[in-house]
Amino acid sequence: MELLKEKILKDGMVREGNILKVDNFLNHQIDIEFMNEIGKELYRIFGDKNITKILTIEASGIAIAAIAAQYFKVPVLFAKKAKSKNLDSDLYTSVVKSYTYGREYTITVAKKFLGSDERVLIIDDFLANGAALRGLIDVTKQSGSTVEGLGIVIEKGFQGGGDRLRAEGYNLHSLAIVDSMDNCEIVFRD
Amino acid sequence: MELLKEKILKDGMVREGNILKVDNFLNHQIDIEFMNEIGKELYRIFGDKNITKILTIEASGIAIAAIAAQYFKVPVLFAKKAKSKNLDSDLYTSVVKSYTYGREYTITVAKKFLGSDERVLIIDDFLANGAALRGLIDVTKQSGSTVEGLGIVIEKGFQGGGDRLRAEGYNLHSLAIVDSMDNCEIVFRD
């Protein structure tokens, strides 16, 4: 998505540790007009998949999923990061190993909102190692529903998570793939 | 907002401890079409305030703020709940005492996204004691910007946080105010 690449080059900042800061339009401050372009593009890509539910994870995925859902005309369900170890039996749960924060956390989704016959589009802001995305895939599979697509705004291609998911056959589309950020220079995959 | 009251009566569930569960349309699964009605209503109420930024807090406020922002045509900024004690000096911070979870947490907002001349509309899903809302008011005041309005979807009137804020002169509007939930019967304020 050319508009996104331009926005990343204009407003994104590379920080030590391969961190790409896009918090002025994507995951702290949100440019809602731009988010609508993201939503339209996700619909252009996945609009023919008869999606019945969009699944994302708190917090940064929520705005993207909510805006995109207006085009798909389906509900959004956002997985929560569990606050306690005592989890209800009415939840699907999955353990996510965060490489960014060097810790594990559990994500939860209420079973009653993810039936066995949903056609799920999973949306998130970033894909690096793919740990969070695999947690969302895991809860979808537990429910018996199908993952019809994975829609990501920015993929850090050099961390390999996206290519591993593609190799496994997932219908993954990232609107921009950053293949390197060496010397603070952002290089996109074609 | 009649549509919201009907929705709460139809889909909401009262649980022990004065908990009102509306997670099938507001804060876990999100009914996006309904969220647009919420957004329109907030714009009807606050549309003449020349709002320049909508401020909310992760996670449940984000979808409401993002959808509403389409009507105001302004960016959304969502306060984060701090993960560490080592906070940058480039953040506004405020300590929030959560009565629901019986603990304190710190909310943060990057200074660069909240200038001194913003006209801020604060949006959140719930208002009970008002602790989170006061945190958002606090960071807005630290920035030097003005709080032009507080827009809440559901206020638990019997917990008093809303009335205290009104008494202090804040332009607070809750789209539904629940005045009691005794014996699992939801009674709205007129």
- Spatial distance between the Cα atoms of A56 and A43, rounded to a whole number of angstroms: 15
> Range with the lowest mean pLDDT among A8-17, A99-108, A134-143, B10-19?
A99-108
Number of independent structural domains in chain B: 1
Collect all residues with Cβ–Cβ distance below 8 Å to A12 and sequence separation of at least 6.
A20, A21, A22, A186
- Spatial distance between the Cα atoms of A25 and A61, rounded to a whole number of angstroms: 13
At residue B96, what is the residue type?
V
- Spatial distance between the Cα atoms of A53 and A112, rounded to a whole number of angstroms: 13
Of A30, A36, A110, the CB nearest to B28: A110
ipTM at complex level: 0.96
Tally A–B CB contacts below 8 A.
94
Closest C-alpha among A154, A138, A169 to residue A1: A154
What's the confidence (pLDDT) of residue A98? 83
Render pLDDT for B30-43 as a digit per residue (tens, 0 to 9): 999 999 999 999 99
Q: Does B24 touch chain A (CB under 8 A)?
A: yes
Query: Residues of B with CB below 8 A from A31's CB?
Result: 75
Q: pLDDT band for position B122 (50/70/90)? A: very high
> Do you know the residue count of chain B?
190
Q: Does A76 touch chain B (CB under 8 A)?
A: yes
Collect all residues with Cβ–Cβ distance below 8 Å to A178 and sequence separation of at least 6.
A8, A20, A154, A155, A156, A157, A158, A186, A187, A188, A189
Q: Which domain holds residue A22?
A: 2-188
Q: Which two three-digit tokens encode residue A23?
A: 């918090």
> Range with the lowest mean pLDDT among A21-35, B101-115, B160-174?
B101-115
Render pLDDT for A39-75 as a digit per residue (tens, 0 to 9): 999 999 999 999 999 999 999 999 999 999 999 999 9
- Indicate which CATH number applies to the domain containing B19: 3.40.50.2020
Q: Does A29 touch chain B (CB under 8 A)?
A: yes
Q: Are B28 and A76 within 8 A, CB to CB? A: no
DSSP assignment string, B23-72:
TTTTSSEE-HHHHHHHHHHHHHHHTTS---EEEEETTTHHHHHHHHHHHH
